[in-house]
């Protein structure tokens, strides 16, 4: 099971838990197995919500939802870094 | 990661573009020439916030020499949608609205219309004849103003566009256990990157429907993507050629004039060039945000940080998506603190939409945190570097935004600071009776980024290679990338001929920003060179009819046979034709960098003038490919940090006009203001990179303002809570004592 760290603003939906466990071979699959309250705030139209980036085991992955996940993987949702919005 | 002794890496060869740049032959944005060129001028808003009631271009159109005029109505009015422009997703309407305003202007300098004419003078005069009728609206100029109840709103949405939270542990409970707690508030001013070359772009909307652009940019593919989005063209119909660039520091990632020049070219049927002047740059391009920050830090009696809280409110400028996100990620990154709560607010204000500026968001945050850390050290009577070492982040430390650090050099940088002769050198006596001296330290972090990069290497018959890449060269990256290829190929770096090419000629390459170019494009060059060696090994095998060809130090060997790289290069035609290696990468392990500063100052208590006596910058480079370029980045970031700390700010009138939009009044440091900046490179290799590279272009700007504030405190006993710490503000603080 992957360890999914819940963004602070969504912890109301996990009873305050900083992380939850979920199964899946990819980040997308893992998110798909989260509760709808969290899942629907992380995804928009099947894509990662704007402004978010995914870190797998501490590193932001360019593969996003397609990044593969091992059983002990840590998944974080970070603020996407840009050099300005343009 | 290779740990072998290197032949090229770590040396200091001359830069490939040096001759062109010192002889004035390098072609910068405004130097580009093309037959039939028209000159563009942009009309900008005089108001910080106003409704556009009407735009009448008839008088301008009648001005002699005018060929075309455009407004926001000339953009294809495609429905709004989220677009991914390579560095993040954003609504198309924001991008379009910032390039040419429609309905409302949101800051003084907001572009409203543009003219193309046969001379720059005609274009400027005609632009002044465009009649725009405005209804001024109330404006908000700082993050706290924008957040205030009842504040004037820029868009339909609230001014607070994002609220970011990070939390680990239980900060409130931990503060109750703390032996000592320090909480302070800080303000930082809006500042500009201050690149010397203004934005410049030439566009040609050709008869075949393709758009060509030549411009000064940090990211040619970003320009291509933005222009194609705004003009509703496939990306393949836009070709962008980056010219040489006279500085960017993050400010030349956004796109301002390129789509306007393209619209004018479509209207006129001729190429159009737009060149910003300095006022345009200050008022019409993206500065980095002013901010309000509150930091609270609690420690136990031994000086272990056990609780931290931060409130960061950053100006976004006129559109959402400012720099508060990275600010929240960096504010406590240097420290291992088990209980942290961070709130970040992205706040719309009537200033230009903010842009990146070396480690965007981190300098503001470090000014606050490192000032509080210094105060804790004083109250605990612990050496400030010892206190930092006691709490330093290291491999395995969980950051407040969640992930654990991999191998980082925070401890090594702090140890280097402590061991540096500067730190133990006497401060010396003040130069006159009204002067006092002090020393300050600070550290800072920037995580750096990956993003895609591509390289192609073709082998010449004389044993040299041509290396083509898509990364605009800022700070000598042609050479730092070529050095990585040369190391793999076993040839002198002078035998690698690097070229920065257009978007048709190389695979997608991300911006020269995020301290990523030597890291990611260098990685692509490493892999492309490996591809060349693989192909040439096959040729050697064909010549010798052998299957045991080995390559090392520029020589192919099999049994008693051997050929140098150059000797084998001469035989390519007869063994199958040209050899071309290529690689594209999209790395994720960027390897963050820590930097530290030791600063000595003398402050005149009568005038408030701060003189920097000695300044030492220490940074983890992972592996310094070209140490001179690393040192150059450290010195450049330090000087910019000094300007941010002591002088620079957007002076705004109450109605939102910038009143110091010249380099005479916007006071950047010159060679007369700063002492020689000593540098020390720390090398904690990034295990993910073939040569251990970490980006070095940004972390160095993070600690200077805090280090100088701490030095001023050491000298005067006053805690400066606002940037810039200019003479009037220091005199005012002294008067409170």
DSSP result, A13-29 = GGTT-SEEEE--SBHHH
CA-based torsion, B665, B671, B677, B682: positive or negative? positive
The answer to whether B299 and B380 are in contact (CB under 8 A) is: yes
The answer to whether B628 and B445 are in contact (CB under 8 A) is: no
Q: Who has greater pLDDT, A78 or B129? A: B129
DSSP result, B307-361 = EEEEEEEEEEESSS--SHHHHHHHTTTTB--SSEEEEEEEEE-SSPPP---SSTT
Looking at B199-323, list the stretches that DSSP marks H as alpha helix, in order from N- to C-terminal side: 220-231, 258-268, 278-284
A85 falls within a domain: no
Angle between helices B627-646 and B362-380 (to 10 degrees): 80
**Residue B167: closest CA among chain A residues belongs to which residue?**
A8
B18-25+450-585 matches B32-137+196-247+252-284 in fold = no
- CB-nearest to A76 from B163, B403, B588 is B403
Q: Which residue has the tokens 């740990």?
A: B3
CA-based torsion, B429, B432, B433, B439: positive or negative? negative
CB contact under 8 A, B89 and A5: no
> What ipTM was predicted for this assembly?
0.88
Angle between helices B704-716 and B627-646 (to 10 degrees): 50
Q: What is the pTM of this model?
A: 0.96
Q: Which of B248, B403, B510, B590 to substitute to test the interface with A, most A CBs within 10 Å?
A: B403
Contacts of B166 in chain A (CB under 8 A): 8
Whether residue A86 has pLDDT greater than 70: no
The answer to whether B526 and B485 are in contact (CB under 8 A) is: yes
Give the pLDDT confidence of B304-321 residue by residue, as tens digits.
999 999 999 999 999 998
Contacts of A74 in chain B (CB under 8 A): 403-404
The tokens for B565 are 């790289």
Contacts of A81 in chain B (CB under 8 A): 87-88, 325-326, 447, 449, 514
User: What pLDDT score does B88 carry?
Assistant: 63
**Residue A83: closest CA among chain B residues belongs to which residue?**
B356
Instruction: Report the distance separating Cα B209 and Cα B348, nearest Å.
Output: 38
Residues of A at the B interface, defined by Cβ within 8 angstroms = 5, 7-9, 11, 18, 50-51, 55-62, 74, 76-86
Residue B663 CB contacts under 8 Å (≥ 6 apart), including other chains? B194, B278
Whether residue B289 has pLDDT greater than 60: yes
The answer to whether B88 and B58 are in contact (CB under 8 A) is: no
Whether residue A85 has pLDDT greater than 50: no
Instruction: Report the distance separating Cα B354 and Cα B288, nearest Å.
Output: 5
User: What pLDDT score does A9 carry?
Assistant: 86
Q: Which of B248, B340, B346, B401 to substitute to test the interface with A, most A CBs within 10 Å?
A: B401
Whether residue B83 has pLDDT greater than 90: no
Segments forming the whole domain that contains residue A29: 2-79
Instruction: Report the distance separating Cα B390 and Cα B408, nearest Å.
Output: 16
- CB-nearest to A8 from B95, B165, B590 is B165
Question: Smallest Cα–Cα separation from B323: which of B719, B701, B721?
Answer: B701
CB contact under 8 A, A59 and B321: no
User: What pLDDT score does A49 carry?
Assistant: 84
Q: Is A29 exposed, middle or buried (0-12, 13-18, 19+ CB in 10 A)?
A: middle
CB contact under 8 A, A51 and B404: no
Looking at B440-510, list the stretches that DSSP marks H as alpha helix, in order from N- to C-terminal side: 477-489
Looking at the DSSP assignment, which residues form a beta bridge with residue B440? B599
CB contact under 8 A, B255 and A79: no
Residue A29 distance to chain B (closest CA, Å): 20
pLDDT band per the 50, 70, 90 thresholds, residue A81: low
Q: How many CB pairs under 8 A join A and B?
A: 118
Q: Alpha carbon of B436 to those of B429, B502, B607, B734: distances in Å?
A: 8, 54, 12, 12
Percent of chain B with pLDDT over 90: 95
Q: Would you call B477 helix, strand, or coil by DSSP?
A: helix
CATH number at residue A48: 3.10.20.30
CB contact under 8 A, B402 and A85: no
Whether residue A83 has pLDDT greater than 60: no
Instruction: Report the distance separating Cα B628 and Cα B113, nearest Å.
Output: 44
User: What pLDDT score does B4 carry?
Assistant: 67
Whether residue B700 has pLDDT greater than 90: yes
Looking at B170-257, list the stretches that DSSP marks H as alpha helix, in order from N- to C-terminal side: 171-177, 220-231
**Residue A44: closest CA among chain B residues belongs to which residue?**
B82
CB contact under 8 A, A5 and B163: no
Q: Residue B177 CA to chain centroid, in angstroms?
A: 40
Looking at B465-521, list the stretches that DSSP marks H as alpha helix, in order from N- to C-terminal side: 477-489
CB contact under 8 A, A84 and B255: no
- Give the helix/strand (H/E) hosting A5: strand A2-5
Question: Smallest Cα–Cα separation from B394: which of B375, B413, B372?
Answer: B413
Give the pLDDT confidence of B574-610 residue by residue, as tens digits.
999 999 999 999 998 788 999 999 999 999 999 999 9
**Residue B317: closest CA among chain A residues belongs to which residue?**
A84
pLDDT band per the 50, 70, 90 thresholds, residue B737: confident
Q: Which residue has the tokens 């772009």?
A: B201
Question: Smallest Cα–Cα separation from B489: which of B435, B418, B537?
Answer: B537
Q: Which residue has the tokens 């060997």?
A: B557
The answer to whether B468 and B455 are in contact (CB under 8 A) is: yes
CB contact under 8 A, B402 and A79: no
CB contact under 8 A, A7 and B286: no
Instruction: Report the distance separating Cα B371 and Cα B297, nearest Å.
Output: 11
Q: Which of A59, A65, A84 to substitute to test the interface with B, most B CBs within 10 Å?
A: A84
Contacts of A76 in chain B (CB under 8 A): 401-403
User: What pLDDT score does A78 carry?
Assistant: 85
The tokens for B240 are 């962008």
CB contact under 8 A, B402 and A5: yes
- CB-nearest to A82 from B94, B321, B341 is B321
Q: Which residue has the tokens 């009696």?
A: B301
Whether residue B235 has pLDDT greater than 90: yes
Q: Is B274 exposed, middle or buried (0-12, 13-18, 19+ CB in 10 A)?
A: buried
The answer to whether B449 and B492 are in contact (CB under 8 A) is: no
C-alpha angle with apex A22: A18 to A25, nearest 5 degrees? 130
Q: Which residue has the tokens 């700010």?
A: B649
Contacts of A57 in chain B (CB under 8 A): 403
The most distant pair of C-alpha atoms in chain B lies apart, rounded to whole Å, by: 86
Q: Which of A43, A63, A83 to substitute to test the interface with B, most B CBs within 10 Å?
A: A83
The answer to whether B599 and B707 are in contact (CB under 8 A) is: yes
**Residue B250: closest CA among chain A residues belongs to which residue?**
A83
Question: Smallest Cα–Cα separation from B506: which of B489, B487, B540, B481?
Answer: B481
Q: Which residue has the tokens 């006092």?
A: B436
Residue A30 distance to chain B (closest CA, Å): 17
Whether residue B87 has pLDDT greater than 60: no
Instruction: Report the distance separating Cα B484 and Cα A33, nearest Å.
Output: 44
Whether residue A71 has pLDDT greater than 90: no
Residue A19 distance to chain B (closest CA, Å): 10
Whether residue A80 has pLDDT greater than 80: no
pLDDT band per the 50, 70, 90 thresholds, residue B618: very high
Domain B291-448+591-736: top CATH class: alpha beta
CB contact under 8 A, A84 and B286: yes
CB contact under 8 A, B218 and A83: yes
**Residue B289: closest CA among chain A residues belongs to which residue?**
A84
Residue A59 distance to chain B (closest CA, Å): 6
Give the pLDDT confidence of B318-356 residue by residue, as tens digits.
999 889 999 999 999 999 999 999 999 999 999 999 999
Residue B592 distance to chain A (closest CA, Å): 11
- Helix, strand, coil content of chain A in percent (nearest 5): 25, 30, 40
**Could you say which architecture CATH assigns to the domain B18-25+450-585?**
2-Layer Sandwich (3.30)
- CB-nearest to B450 from A5, A9, A62 is A62
CB contact under 8 A, B514 and A51: no
**Is CATH 3.40.190.10 correct for B32-137+196-247+252-284?**
no
Kindly state the average pLDDT of the residues B422-429. Answer: 98
Residue B66 distance to chain A (closest CA, Å): 30
pLDDT band per the 50, 70, 90 thresholds, residue B407: very high
Whether residue A36 has pLDDT greater than 50: yes
User: What pLDDT score does B608 carry?
Assistant: 98
Question: Smallest Cα–Cα separation from B705: which of B599, B625, B551, B558?
Answer: B599
Contacts of B326 in chain A (CB under 8 A): 79, 81
- CB-nearest to B513 from A74, A79, A83 is A83
Q: Alpha carbon of A49 to those of A43, A69, B62, B212, B627: distances in Å?
A: 5, 20, 49, 33, 40
The most distant pair of C-alpha atoms in chain A lies apart, rounded to whole Å, by: 38
The backbone torsions φ and ψ at residue B171, rounded to the nearest 5 degrees and listed phi first, read -65, -45
User: What pLDDT score does A48 carry?
Assistant: 86
User: What pLDDT score does B86 carry?
Assistant: 55
Cα dihedral angle (B15, B17, B21, B26), rounded to 10 degrees?
-170
Number of domains in chain A: 1
CB contact under 8 A, A50 and B162: no
User: What pLDDT score does A50 carry?
Assistant: 78
CB contact under 8 A, A74 and B167: no
Residue ranges of domains in chain B: 18-25+450-585, 32-137+196-247+252-284, 291-448+591-736
- CB-nearest to B329 from A62, A74, A79 is A79
pLDDT band per the 50, 70, 90 thresholds, residue A84: very low
């Amino acid at each position: 099971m992957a360890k999914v760290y819940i963004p602070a603003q969504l912890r109301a939906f996990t009873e305050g838990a900083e992380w939850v466990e979920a199964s899946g071979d990819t980040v997308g699959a893992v998110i798909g197995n989260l509760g709808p309250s969290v899942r629907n705030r992380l995804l928009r139209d099947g894509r990662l919500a704007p402004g978010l980036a995914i870190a797998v085991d501490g590193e932001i992955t360019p593969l996003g939802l397609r990044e593969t996940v091992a059983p002990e993987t840590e998944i974080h949702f970070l603020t996407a870094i840009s050099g300005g919005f343009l | 990661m290779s740990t072998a002794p290197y032949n090229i890496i770590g040396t200091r060869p001359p830069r490939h573009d040096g001759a062109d740049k010192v002889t004035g032959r390098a072609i910068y944005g405004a130097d580009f020439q093309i037959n039939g060129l028209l000159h563009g001028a942009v009309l900008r808003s005089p108001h910080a916030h106003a409704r556009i009631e009407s735009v009448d271009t008839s008088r301008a159109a009648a001005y002699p020499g005018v060929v075309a005029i455009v407004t926001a109505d000339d953009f294809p009015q495609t429905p709004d949608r989220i677009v991914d422009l390579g560095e993040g997703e954003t609504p198309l309407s924001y991008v379009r609205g910032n390039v040419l305003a429609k309905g409302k202007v949101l800051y003084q300098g907001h572009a409203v219309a543009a003219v193309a004419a046969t001379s720059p003078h005609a274009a400027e005069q005609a632009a002044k004849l465009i009649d725009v009728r405005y209804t001024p609206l109330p404006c908000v100029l700082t993050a706290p103003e924008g957040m205030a109840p009842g504040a004037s709103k820029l868009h339909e949405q609230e001014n607070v566009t994002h609220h970011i939270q990070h939390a680990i542990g239980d900060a409130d409970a931990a503060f109750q256990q703390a032996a000592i707690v320090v909480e302070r508030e800080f303000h930082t001013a809006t500042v500009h990157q201050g690149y010397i070359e203004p934005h410049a772009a030439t566009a040609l909307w050709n008869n075949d429907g393709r758009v060509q652009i030549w411009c000064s940019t940090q990211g040619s593919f970003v320009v291509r993507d933005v222009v194609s989005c705004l003009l509703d063209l496939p990306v393949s119909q836009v070709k962008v050629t980056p010219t040489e660039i006279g500085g960017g520091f993050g400010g030349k990632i956004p796109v301002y004039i390129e789509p306007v020049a393209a619209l004018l070219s479509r209207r006129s049927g001729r190429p159009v060039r737009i060149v910003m002047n300095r006022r345009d740059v200050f008022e019409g391009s993206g500065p980095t945000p002013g901010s309000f920050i509150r930091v609270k830090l609690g420690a136990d009696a031994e000086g272990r940080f056990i609780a931290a809280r931060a409130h960061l409110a950053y100006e976004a400028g006129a559109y959402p998506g400012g720099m508060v996100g990275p600010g929240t990620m960096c504010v406590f990154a240097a420290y291992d603190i088990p209980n942290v709560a961070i709130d970040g607010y992205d706040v719309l204000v009537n200033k230009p939409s903010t842009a990146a500026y070396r480690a965007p968001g981190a300098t503001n945050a470090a000014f606050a945190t490192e000032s509080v850390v210094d105060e804790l050290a004083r109250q605990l009577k612990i050496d400030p570097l010892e206190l930092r070492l006691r709490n330093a982040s290291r491999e395995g430390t969980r950051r407040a935004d969640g992930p654990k650090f991999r191998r980082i050099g925070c401890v090594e940088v702090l140890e280097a600071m402590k061991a540096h002769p500067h730190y133990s050198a006497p401060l010396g006596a003040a130069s006159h009776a009204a002067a006092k001296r002090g020393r300050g330290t600070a550290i800072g972090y920037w995580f750096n980024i990956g993003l895609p990069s591509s390289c192609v290497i073709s082998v010449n018959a004389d044993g040299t290679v041509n290396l083509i890449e898509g990364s605009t060269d800022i700070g000598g990256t042609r050479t730092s990338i070529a050095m990585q290829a040369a190391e793999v190929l076993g040839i002198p770096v002078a035998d690698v001929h690097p070229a920065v090419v257009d978007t048709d000629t190389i695979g997608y390459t991300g911006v020269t920003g995020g301290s990523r170019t030597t890291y990611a494009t260098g990685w692509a060059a490493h892999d492309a060179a490996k591809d060349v060696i693989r192909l040439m090994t096959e040729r050697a095998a064909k010549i010798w009819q052998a299957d045991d060809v080995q390559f090392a130090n520029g020589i192919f060997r099999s049994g008693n046979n051997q050929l140098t790289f150059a000797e084998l290069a001469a035989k390519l035609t007869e063994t199958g034709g040209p050899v071309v290696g290529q690689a594209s990468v999209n790395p994720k392990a960027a390897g963050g960098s820590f930097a530290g500063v030791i600063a000595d100052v003398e402050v005149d208590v009568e005038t408030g003038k701060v003189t920097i006596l000695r300044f030492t910058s220490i940074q983890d480079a992972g592996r310094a490919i070209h140490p001179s370029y690393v040192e150059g980045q450290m010195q450049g970031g330090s000087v910019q940090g000094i300007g941010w700390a002591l002088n620079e700010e957007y002076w705004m009138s109450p109605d939102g006009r910038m009143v110091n939009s010249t380099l005479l009044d916007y006071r950047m440091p010159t060679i007369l203001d700063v002492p020689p900046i000593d540098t020390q490179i720390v090398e904690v290799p990034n295990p993910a990179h073939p040569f251990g590279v970490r980006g070095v272009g940004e972390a160095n700007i993070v600690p200077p303002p805090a280090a100088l504030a701490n030095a001023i405190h050491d000298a005067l006993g006053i805690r400066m809570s606002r940037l810039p710490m200019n003479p009037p503000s220091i005199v005012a603080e002294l008067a409170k004592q």
